[in-house]
Structure formats: C-alpha cells, structure tokens
A and B are shown apart, each in its own frame.
Chain A
Amino acid sequence: MHPALLSQLNTARLERVAVAVLTDLSTGEKRLVHANDVDDDPLAAELETRFRSGKSGIISVDTGELFIQIHAPSLRLVVIGAVHISQALFPIAQACNFDVTVIDPRTAFATKERFSNVTLEAEWPEEALKETILDAYTAVVALTHDPKIDDIPIRAALDAECFYVGALGSNKTHGKRLDRLRAAGVTDDVLERIHAPIGLDIGAAGPAEIAVAVMAQIIGVSRRGKSA
C-alpha cells in the first residue's frame, strides 16, 4: 500500500466520508473510490451495492480476486437534553460503539457530574450543532419535551438526512410538534421520518428501560432501515 493512499483514506475517515479501497489480490494494486464518485466507476453497480450494505468482501474480476473494503463513518448519536433518560442512554449507546454527544443549554442539567465520560455541550442546540456536524451516519434524539430546545435540532436532523430522528413525548405532544414544524414549512413526507413516540413499544417503564427501547429502535433502523 502506498502511503499517499493510506493518508487519503485516513483523511476521508476523519472527514466522515464513505470510501472504498479496492485491492487486486494478485498484483497488490490498490485504488480508492469515494462514495460520491461511484457513478463514474467501471464497478459502479458492485460498489453501489457494497456502499449501501457497508459490507466488505472479495469479488472475481478478469485478473483474479479483487478485495473491496468499505470504510463507512462510525455511527454517532446526538442527544438533545441532559435528562434522566439521557443519563441511561449514553452508556448503552457507547457500548454499541456509537460516539455520543449530549446537548442541553440548561446548565443545571448539563453538568459533568451527571455526564462524565461523554461529550457534553452546555449550549443551545443551534450553537452546539455548528461544531457537531449532522449527517446520514448520525442519529438524533430529542428528549427535553421543550419545543424551544427540541424543535430546531429535529428540523436540522431532518434536513441533514440523519438516519434516525426520534422525539420524546406522547401522541398529543407530538401532534403539536408536527403542527409547529408544518407551520415552519416542513412537508408531511419528511415529518413521517420522525420516530415518535420514541423507542420500540416494549412497555418500557422508567428512564433505563426507555433508554433500552430507544437504543433498540436506533439499532433496528441502522441495520434494517426505516421500518424498525
């Protein structure tokens, strides 16, 4: 492997861009393909399938075996609200290899004592989200019940096509939320992407069980798509 290619690969990973590294296993020749450049590639169909599934593997080509390795960005979870559920949720998400950021402008909630060992931003989401870039490999959960805090990041998550957007609140609370977002110009097909009431329906009681239900739903969507 040429060091220049290794450097390009690490840069792409750092910038959270999905790339594939193709290795001809008989010659050792390698090349790197960005997910955005797949259309122009001679292996477009194969690469497209691989990028979608995230699966690396060997395929047969004229020269022999070609190893395709997909480097997709790691999944992230952005939690809006440094609330009790968030305290239970962040260690579960970390155990599932998610990089977690907790955001809450209320400094009484967003304390290091309540949230040690996790990235904590005691700022308004609109400020914090200038640093934490949302993308298709990010899940966003809004847990404050407070429209002043939740609505803007929910909107931002939908705009950024985050793979999962969930919001805490009863059907009634969510109904009002939908009204506000509709009034702000978000269309119904986009609003349907919000998971609310949040979490798998397992009869969860209390913060820890709700956190499990939320994490299970996020994993379901990441592995199986929207229907989870």
Chain B
Amino acid sequence: MTEKAMTERDPLVLAESWHKAGKGVAMATVVETWGSAPRPVGSHLVIDADGNFEGSVSGGCVEGAVVFEAVEAIETGKPKMLEFGVADETAWEVGLSCGGRIRVYVEPIVGEN
C-alpha cells in the first residue's frame, strides 16, 4: 500500500489513530477460509467500543456479528476466535449465503502507546 492509498479509510491506519485518540479498539482478521468465502485470508475489520467499524471480513453477511463480539472483546481485553458458515447453527441469522466458511480472529488493541 502506498502513501496515497493509506488514507484515513485504511482499517489498520484507522485502528492506530482511534487508539491514539483514546478509544477502545479491536481488530478482526480473516485467518482461514473454506469454499467460496467472499473476502480472502488477511482481510481486516476494525471496530471501536461504540460499534463504529471500517473494512470487511465478508461481503457484509457477518460483519454485524463480528462487531458485536469485538465490542465485547474490547471490554474483556481478551482475543477470541469466531467461525461462520452454513454449517453454523446460527446460519439462518448470520451465515454466508455463498456457502463458504470463515474463521475470524478478534483481538483488542491493548497497551500503552
């Protein structure tokens, strides 16, 4: 990513500036995919304590659930692993319509600047 492309909409840049501004921040990363997952491994979604977010880990199918879990991770200060897919029992609520499965690692940004 170049200087020009690293704008304020870049999730990782945004995560850093949110944290510097004193906000609670978590980062979600797609760590594994099976089948036709909409976003590749390494895709990021960053979330603040109020539920604001930037980036994506799917085509919009599971972001809501990830944001919910991320806000909780910000409160507990502990990372967690999430898994979504048609095999998931919540498939009808938050599943991937494409039939793929993904694992998303959610971790809070914790520590002094």
Q: Which of A's residues lie within 8 Å of B, judged by CB?
A: 1-4, 6-7, 9-10, 13-14, 16, 23, 25, 28, 55-58, 67, 69-70, 73-74, 76, 99, 119
Contact assessment for A4 and B113 in the assembled complex, using a CB-CB cutoff below 8 Å: yes
CB distance from B1 to the nearest CB of A (A): 4
Contact assessment for A69 and B42 in the assembled complex, using a CB-CB cutoff below 8 Å: yes
Q: Known contacts A1-B27, A25-B81, A69-B29; decide if A56 and B107 are in contact (CB<8 Å).
A: no
A16 to B2, CA, bound (A): 7
Kindly state the interface size class of chain B when it binds its partner.
20 to 34
Among A13, A25, A69, A119, contact of B1 (Cβ-Cβ < 8 Å): A13
Contact assessment for B27 and A7 in the assembled complex, using a CB-CB cutoff below 8 Å: no
Instruction: Beyond A1-B110, A6-B109, A55-B41, list 7 extra A-B contacts (CB 8 Å).
Output: A7-B113, A25-B105, A57-B41, A58-B31, A73-B1, A74-B1, A99-B5
CB distance from A63 to the nearest CB of B (A): 14
Within 8 A of A (CB), among B47-80: 78-79
Q: Residue B39 at the A interface, CB < 8 A?
A: no
Q: Known contacts A6-B15, A13-B12, A25-B81; decide if A1 and B5 are in contact (CB<8 Å).
A: no
Contact assessment for A56 and B2 in the assembled complex, using a CB-CB cutoff below 8 Å: no
A contact residues around B108 at 8 Å (CB): 1
Contact assessment for B2 and A67 in the assembled complex, using a CB-CB cutoff below 8 Å: no
Q: Which of B's residues lie within 8 Å of A, judged by CB?
A: 1-6, 12-13, 15-16, 19-20, 27, 29, 31-32, 41-42, 78-79, 81, 105, 107-113
Contact assessment for A1 and B2 in the assembled complex, using a CB-CB cutoff below 8 Å: no
Q: Known contacts A25-B81, A67-B105, A73-B1; decide if A2 and B111 are in contact (CB<8 Å).
A: yes
A67 to B112, CA, bound (A): 24
B contact residues around A10 at 8 Å (CB): 6, 12-13, 16
A119 to B12, CA, bound (A): 24
A6 to B110, CA, bound (A): 10
